[in-house]
Structure 1
Amino acid sequence: MVAITSVKESRERVVSSDIPEIDLQWKRDKARKLMVRACEEFGIFKVINHGVPKEIIENIEKEGKNFFSLPTSDKQKAGPPNPLGYGSKQIGYNGDMGDLEYLLFHTNPTSIYQRLRTTTKDAFKFSCVVNDYVDKVRKLACDLLEMLGEGLGLEDTKTFSKLVMDAESDSLVRLNYYPCCEGNSKEKLGIIKKKDDKGPRIGFGDHSDPQIITLLRSNEVEGLQIQSPWDSSVWIPVKSDASAFFINVGDALQAMTNGRLTSVRHRAIVNTQKTRMSTIFFASPSLQTLISPLPEMVTHEKPHKYRPYTWAEYKRIMYSLKLATNRLELFLSDYNDNTGLLRLV
């Protein structure tokens, strides 16, 4: 790791490092082994030669830009986010704020159209573009999950992918739009100061994703940072690559692998001069799915780390907490509930 740049009075540091890259044109055995290792060590990897057509990607980016360029009054017709729909600045229900606008949809085609139909004359076209994108990216997610299943030595290598392909899957797609902020042209990404001069300007705060895995791509503007797995005070900027997807482990996959794969903590930083738009697919199980460590992941030396929970239960807990909360700690098998949080369900 190199290029340590400064940052907060809390001694937070930004450190340059490369994210593991997986080429899906490699031999499958090589790709899946490196994929598992990346998920164990970083909780994230970059996928190239992923097979999602360039046209599909360009279409959703174009429609997203068109939407976010609409007058505020038109965009607000797709909101307020509850949690689905259009949102601006406010993230969730517990006071978290970010420097962004966003659209969040359930991947159900009807749900997407219903959210858009009053906002733009091209709502049907936009919803078709989103649906085409979801179809391709869902397939990629399932292919990657099956490779992870093979790499982990699961008896049923489709254990993860079947949850995502379930007709009642709770998968989501999100478009995040980060406007550029005013600043000195000499300022570099990762050290943009807030008004109080205590740290970077945050577009989307520190968090982990609750789902199984996340597939993210953005334009050529950088902003994504991951927390170092070895030092929580260190943040690693992820180099932008509009032709690639970045895949990160979510809380559910960490729980199902009994902690072997790591749910990566990450955040988005606002750029000084360029707007950034990212498109994210959250691969999720159905609400009634029971999440618990798989038998192959449990041994005498590594007993059950997490108690079983349904995806619906986890979501209810998630929405009651601040963005940065380590939610999985509340589901540890030996968790001592002195806070009453788990009694919310």
Structure 2
Amino acid sequence: MVVLTKRELEQIALPAVQLAAPPLALVPEVDLSAVEASDAARSAAARAVAKACEDHGFFKVTGHGVPAPLLARLDAAAAAFFALPQRDKDKAAAGAGGGSPPFGYASKRIGDNGDLGWVEYLLLGVTAAGAAAAPVALSEGAESSCFRDVLDEHIAAVRRMTCTVLELMAQGLGLDDEGVFSRLVLDRDSDSLLRVNHYPARPEAAGEPAEVRRRLTGFGEHTDPQIISVLRSNDAAGLEMSLRDGTWVSVPSDTRSFFVNVGDALQVLTNGRFRSVRHRVVVSSARPRVSVIFFGGPPPRQRLAPLPGLVDREGGRRRYRDFTWREYKTSAYRTKLADNRLCYFETTATS
């Protein structure tokens, strides 16, 4: 269980204007089960994906093919991990993902720039084979092996589904090369991650009147740096998205679906046609929330730049300069969560 001091709680409480939960979002939905039915069905799905990315920067997928029993086992394994004594969870802070920050287990502090959240999490690198990059250092015994196995199985299934979505994005953009995005995630040096977040029940929330219950910041407002993020959670609410006009909306929980976010790298590759979505997690209930997110990233040395075909459609205007993924990550790690990290790579020049 995460334990914060009173001062830390005050630092992560949302402003008073945010006491009321925002309205529910109307989340665009794409059924992947129809993709293989016919060319027409695939084209329709590709158009729906592209429109969702342009209008909102996020959508949810159903018919994804990730087995329900696997998801149930993952939920149980994650809950078991976060229920371990703190000393056992702390063992995972040294060893997962190679033993160097930011990989492994952590709580309360998100990054190195002062961001705090009512959250504890496990962050793992993903290998070229689509598995956790290093053994999860929990405790000895069958429970540890079970968690590692279910994480590997989940990563493999979700990465396959992610690549299908990326190919639909390319098709929806009218690109000749439908593998232009998915190849980056499948590359042997792909910088992909898996994050397992646990947001404990808000302290003293049980029995407290809803009208006076403070909403705590679980994970502060931000965009995801990678190409794409694919999230699934248990049935506890808390995820909120910012619409294009700046309005915040609550995303209804849906344990059967995956939620897809456009990341900063994809915004650059599409020359701003797809825009990364600002989102956050708030905690206001007596029920814990667990979410598992796959982040599909490019190789560190990969040069990121708007795709020429998309630049041509805007009369040659390039909204971003060329840079490597490593260069972008280095810059992003110096910022706070809510900062606009892409502004340092924008250009108003035309070519």
Q: CA–CA distance in 2 between the matches of 1:30 and 1:154?
A: 15
Match of 2:284, SS state, is coil
The one-letter code matched in structure 2 to 1:25 is S
The answer on 1:177 being equivalent to 2:198 is yes
Match of 2:60, SS state, is strand
Does the CA contact (< 8 Å) of 1:185 and 1:273 recur in 2?
A: no
The one of 67, 71, 90 equivalent to 1:57 is: 71
Q: CA–CA distance in 2 between the matches of 1:302 and 1:263?
A: 22
Residue 71 (structure 1) aligns with = 85
RMSD: 2.3
- Gap runs ≥5 in structure 1: 1-5, 194-199, 336-345
For these two proteins, the number of residue pairs brought into alignment is 320
Q: CA–CA distance in 2 between the matches of 1:162 and 1:110?
A: 13
Q: CA–CA distance in 1 between the matches of 2:296 and 2:268?
A: 15
Does the CA contact (< 8 Å) of 2:135 and 2:148 recur in 1?
A: no
Give every structure 1 segment of 4 or more consecutive aligned residues whose post-TM-superposition deviation is greater than 6 Å.
10-13
The answer on 1:24 being equivalent to 2:32 is yes
1:135-186 Cα shifts (integer Å, max 9, x gaps): 0000000000001111101121100000011111110001000011122554
Match of 2:221, SS state, is strand
Shift in Å, 1:110: 10
Q: CA–CA distance in 2 between the matches of 1:73 and 1:9?
A: 38
Q: CA–CA distance in 1 between the matches of 2:47 and 2:263?
A: 19
The one of 114, 123, 128 equivalent to 1:95 is: 114
Q: CA–CA distance in 1 between the matches of 2:177 and 2:133?
A: 36
Q: How does 1:201-220 map to 2 (within 5 A)?
A: 201-220=216-235
Does the CA contact (< 8 Å) of 1:113 and 1:124 recur in 2?
A: no
Does the CA contact (< 8 Å) of 2:74 and 2:151 recur in 1?
A: yes
Shift in Å, 1:320: 0.9
Q: CA–CA distance in 2 between the matches of 1:29 and 1:315?
A: 34
Shift in Å, 1:120: 4.4
The one-letter code matched in structure 1 to 2:113 is N
The one-letter code matched in structure 2 to 1:127 is R
Does the CA contact (< 8 Å) of 2:195 and 2:294 recur in 1?
A: yes
- Gap runs ≥5 in structure 2: 1-13, 35-40, 95-99
The one-letter code matched in structure 1 to 2:288 is T
Give the TM-score of the pair, scaled to structure 2.
0.86
The answer on 1:187 being equivalent to 2:210 is yes
Q: CA–CA distance in 1 between the matches of 2:61 and 2:55?
A: 16
- Call closer, same or farther: CA 1:57–1:9 in 2, change over 3 Å: closer
Q: CA–CA distance in 1 between the matches of 2:15 and 2:24?
A: 14
Does the CA contact (< 8 Å) of 1:173 and 1:279 recur in 2?
A: yes
Residue 174 (structure 2) aligns with = 153
Give the TM-score of the pair, scaled to structure 1.
0.87
Q: CA–CA distance in 2 between the matches of 1:101 and 1:119?
A: 18
The answer on 1:247 being equivalent to 2:270 is no
Q: How does 1:1-345 map to 2 (within 5 A)?
A: 8-9=16-17, 14-26=22-34, 27-79=41-93, 82-108=101-127, 112=132, 114-121=134-141, 122-181=143-202, 182-183=204-205, 184-187=207-210, 192-193=213-214, 200-231=215-246, 234-299=247-312, 300-301=314-315, 303-334=317-348
Q: CA–CA distance in 2 between the matches of 1:240 and 1:216?
A: 11
